[in-house]
Chains A and B, each alone.
Chain A
Amino acid sequence: MGPEHVVAAVMLAGLVLYVLGGGADFGGGVWDLLASGPRKKAQRAAIERAIGPVWEANHVWFVFVFVLLFAAFPPAFARVTTALFGPLTLYAIGLVLRGSAFTFRHYEEAEAKRRRFGALFSAASIVCPFLLGEMGALLVRDAPLAADMTSPFAIAGGVFALALVATLAATYLTLEADDEALREDFRKRALASLVVAGVASWIAMLAGRAEAKGLFTHLAGGGTAVVASFLGLASLLLVWQRKYVLARIGVALLATSVVVGWGLAKGELLVPPDMTLAASKAHPATLRVLLVSCAIGTLVLFPSLWLLFRVFAPIRESGRAPGGPSVRATTDEA
């Protein structure tokens, strides 16, 4: 194992944290759009409270992974940005509109404009994870990397990612809700999105048999399918049983297993069909500097993240998933 493997592992860890934190923020946007019933307003307010203080920090994980990719694997980076030019541009637009519309809505007084910013915020929150899922799928196909956005496997990957972040958000939000009825709203949403995620994952696997053979003959791919299915069922059961703290851990582990499994299945192959970690890695000195910076940066980063998530922790102390940026929300805002 060389330093390039360690950097790749750090990137994968960053991606896991992006999905657990930033992914859930996207999921919040999904539920903002789908807010309904008598507690529509309360649902939106809970989502806004939960996302407000943390989205910018969660978002930096994306920048972090992206920067490591170009610092540690420059040719792979150039290949990815060239091949995925279209979806990445859309992703950039989505990120811009999501973050700014969310903030604008918070400070806008006029109800009509608030609604328009809200629509923009949730539309972008749906497009982004969908694109992320599509790009994730495209990166594990057998075919050379291309922006083949209509391939069944890519679409299934996008839908799966969307359902996954919606699951994360709904499950986290059960712990944010300050009254029982609101909690039930989010519980129902968590159950529904878990089922959708499960179905989408099976469709993705079927599509993958044709497009990503490598993925499913790979032990990690098969193993992930088994582990993730188990975790999905367990989470479903826990949400059903209203064991919210455990459920939160369950869905966080589920998302983690999916991302880690994806990474393990990619293995040495960074960009299909043939660009491996070894073929695109930076020089050892550069990799070492990156790793040392990450190690030192972590010493500042994790205590700071701990502070942030502790300050904005929900009332229940125990409601924190291990290592997951999962704690959110304030309670006292009007």
Chain B
Amino acid sequence: MDTTTIARAQMGLSLAFHIVFAAFGVGLPLLLVLADRRAKVTGDARYELLARRMAKGTAILFAVGAVSGTVLSLELGLLWPELMRRFGEVVGPLFALEGFAFFTEAIFLGVYLYGRERVSPRVHFFSGVMVAISGALSAAFVTVVNAIMNEPLPVLWDGDRAYLEAPLAALLAPSAPTQILHVVLSCYATTAFAMCGVHAVLWLRGRERDFHRAALSLALPLACVAGLAMPLSGDLSAKHVSQHQPWKVGAMEAHYETSKCSPLYVGGIPDDATRTVHYAIALPCGLSILGGGSPSAEIVGLDRVPRGEWPPVARTHFAFQVMVSAGSVLALVSAGTLVYRFRRKRWPEDARYMRVLVLCAFLAPLAMEAGWLVTEWGRQPFVIRGLLTTADAATHAEGLGPRMFAFTAIYLFLGFTVVTLLFGLFRASGEAPSGAREEEAAHGT
């Protein structure tokens, strides 16, 4: 493998790892704050216990999120020195803003997790809110960086270094609004469905059903709202991409020929050589309707993109199918759940439904990972679309292979340990009788 390929693999691995923890870093604080709030409003002790138990898992997930994120910022420089040299100035201020968001996040997280017994309930609640806000903000800022990479704004050049006349204009990157919405929602969807899945498993075990019922009644509304919002926001993203990023829509929809009444391919294996899609179900004019808003809208295809600038079509198309399929299941479950809730005035509670929730706990992060692959693969072979190719941005350092190996081993170790520790916490939570609250309180976090 050449250096660039290893660099890409290492970057992709690190990001795919970080994004899981980052998503929890955005979503869990919101759920914690909701639990605290409900504990206060209803006076129901189950919610306070829930918040205390969730805080432990949050501490673990956050720590791994913080360190894996730091690795990423180092890797930006180590693996992509030319990217930073030429575009550091364009994306730098965004990362600086993100840095401040990290600060408030880490600071108030410290107060929230370790300070329950030390600060007034109001300061404690306020800290939780600050963590939730700064988590969402940091996700938003870093997503803007990604938006710039996908669809750069007009930049000025000083030799081969790009800069912006008004650096904060970077916040107005064309695809930022749709991406931020979709990304932040995906963090909430992933976290809320994961939480539902955990409590569904514990419910199925039959312990403390009352407690898990309360937990589900807290996570389900967020999961369902986010689950329903994902396809709507995804539709906005798809419309934007269809109109402004023909290379990406070409790859994700395997859309080779520019045409009015473009078909939408469900499934299938794209074949670049013949520019056809085998074994797909073609919905006539589907892409024109979804991407352009009318059956006769013209959707530019890969034929208008120089052959050397095509993203890898098959992979991107496949990832897109995975995201949309998973997203459709999540949306159906969400809709069904909400209908049930409004008809029966309570949340569904039977073993079959719980198993569906466990499935959803896997589908949501799967959709998120797949979606990111669509975005990242759909931009290739450029790191800054049209301006800097990935190969030109990459390092020439020797010995990337062993390092890649080391990072893979470390991520495996971290992932494995986090899962073991979380399982330990879940198991312990099942064993602790509900009356053991005082004991847990004395333990702090």
Residues of A within 8 A of B (CB): 52-54, 56-57, 59-60, 62-64, 66-68, 70-72, 74-75, 77-78, 80-82, 85, 88-89, 91-93, 95-100, 102-104, 106-109, 282-283, 285-286, 289-290, 293-294, 297, 300-301, 304-305, 307-308, 311-312, 330, 332-334
B111 A53 Cβ-Cβ under 8 A: yes
B397 A301 Cβ-Cβ under 8 A: no
B92 A308 Cβ-Cβ under 8 A: no
A59 B417 Cβ-Cβ under 8 A: no
Q: Can you show 18 pairs from A to B with CB atoms below 8 A apart? A: A53-B111, A57-B110, A68-B92, A68-B96, A71-B95, A74-B85, A77-B84, A78-B84, A88-B74, A99-B64, A107-B425, A108-B421, A283-B158, A300-B104, A304-B103, A312-B114, A312-B118, A330-B114
CA distance A119 to B87 in the complex (A): 40
B77 A286 Cβ-Cβ under 8 A: no
The one of A89, A96, A285, A297 in contact with B166, judged by C-beta atoms closer than 8 angstroms, is A285
Chain B residues, Cβ within 8 Å of A102: 63
Q: B213 within 8 Å of A by Cβ?
A: no
A97 vs chain B, min Cβ distance (A): 7
Knowing that A60-B103, A93-B410 are A-B contacts, what are 10 other residue pairs whose CB atoms are under 8 Å apart, sorted by A's residue number?
A: A67-B73, A74-B84, A82-B395, A103-B63, A285-B163, A285-B167, A301-B103, A304-B108, A304-B130, A311-B115
A62 B70 Cβ-Cβ under 8 A: yes
- Which of B76, B98, B425 has the most chain A CB atoms closer than 10 A to its own CB? B76
The one of A68, A74, A81, A283 in contact with B86, judged by C-beta atoms closer than 8 angstroms, is A74
Q: B387 within 8 Å of A by Cβ?
A: no
Chain B residues, Cβ within 8 Å of A286: 89, 92-93, 163-164, 167
Q: Sort A-B residue pairs by CB-CB distance and give the 6 closest, nearest first.
A: A71-B92, A74-B88, A81-B77, A78-B85, A103-B63, A297-B100
A328 vs chain B, min Cβ distance (A): 11
CA distance A64 to B95 in the complex (A): 9
What residue in chain A is nearest B78 (Cβ atoms)?
A81
B111 A308 Cβ-Cβ under 8 A: yes
The one of B73, B78, B89, B414 in contact with A89, judged by C-beta atoms closer than 8 angstroms, is B78
- Which of B95, B99, B130, B161 has the most chain A CB atoms closer than 10 A to its own CB? B99
Q: B350 within 8 Å of A by Cβ?
A: no
Chain A residues, Cβ within 8 Å of B56: 107
A283 B163 Cβ-Cβ under 8 A: yes
B96 A290 Cβ-Cβ under 8 A: yes
A282 B442 Cβ-Cβ under 8 A: no
B291 vs chain A, min Cβ distance (A): 35
Q: Provided the pairs A54-B110, A301-B100, A330-B114 are in contact, do residues A96 and B92 lie with their beta carbons within 8 angstroms?
A: no
CA distance A78 to B77 in the complex (A): 6
Interface string of B48-85 (1 = CB under 8 A from A): 00000000100110111011111101111110011011
CA distance A203 to B264 in the complex (A): 71
A179 vs chain B, min Cβ distance (A): 20
A103 B113 Cβ-Cβ under 8 A: no
CA distance A39 to B222 in the complex (A): 48
A332 B117 Cβ-Cβ under 8 A: yes
- Which of A70, A293, A301 has the most chain B CB atoms closer than 10 A to its own CB? A70
Chain B residues, Cβ within 8 Å of A332: 117, 444
B89 vs chain A, min Cβ distance (A): 4
B111 A330 Cβ-Cβ under 8 A: no
CA distance A275 to B378 in the complex (A): 37
A139 vs chain B, min Cβ distance (A): 15
Q: B443 within 8 Å of A by Cβ?
A: yes
Q: B97 within 8 Å of A by Cβ?
A: yes
CA distance A332 to B113 in the complex (A): 14
What residue in chain A is nearest B92 (Cβ atoms)?
A71
Chain A residues, Cβ within 8 Å of B421: 104, 107-108
CA distance A89 to B130 in the complex (A): 32
CA distance A131 to B410 in the complex (A): 19
- Chain B 119-172 interface residues, beta-carbon cutoff 8 Å to A: 119, 123, 130, 158, 161, 163-168
A100 B104 Cβ-Cβ under 8 A: no
A294 B96 Cβ-Cβ under 8 A: yes
Q: B426 within 8 Å of A by Cβ?
A: no
A297 B103 Cβ-Cβ under 8 A: yes
B70 A96 Cβ-Cβ under 8 A: yes
Q: B424 within 8 Å of A by Cβ?
A: yes
Q: B347 within 8 Å of A by Cβ?
A: no
B83 vs chain A, min Cβ distance (A): 9
B119 A311 Cβ-Cβ under 8 A: yes
Chain A residues, Cβ within 8 Å of B99: 60, 63-64, 67, 297
CA distance A18 to B251 in the complex (A): 45
CA distance A72 to B66 in the complex (A): 23
CA distance A53 to B116 in the complex (A): 12
B26 vs chain A, min Cβ distance (A): 16
CA distance A182 to B118 in the complex (A): 24
What residue in chain A is nearest B63 (Cβ atoms)?
A103
What residue in chain B is nearest A103 (Cβ atoms)?
B63
Q: Provided the pairs A285-B165, A307-B111 are in contact, do residues A293 and B68 lie with their beta carbons within 8 angstroms?
A: no
B47 vs chain A, min Cβ distance (A): 22
Q: B403 within 8 Å of A by Cβ?
A: yes
A57 B103 Cβ-Cβ under 8 A: yes
Chain B residues, Cβ within 8 Å of A78: 77, 81-82, 84-85, 88
What residue in chain A is nearest B90 (Cβ atoms)?
A286
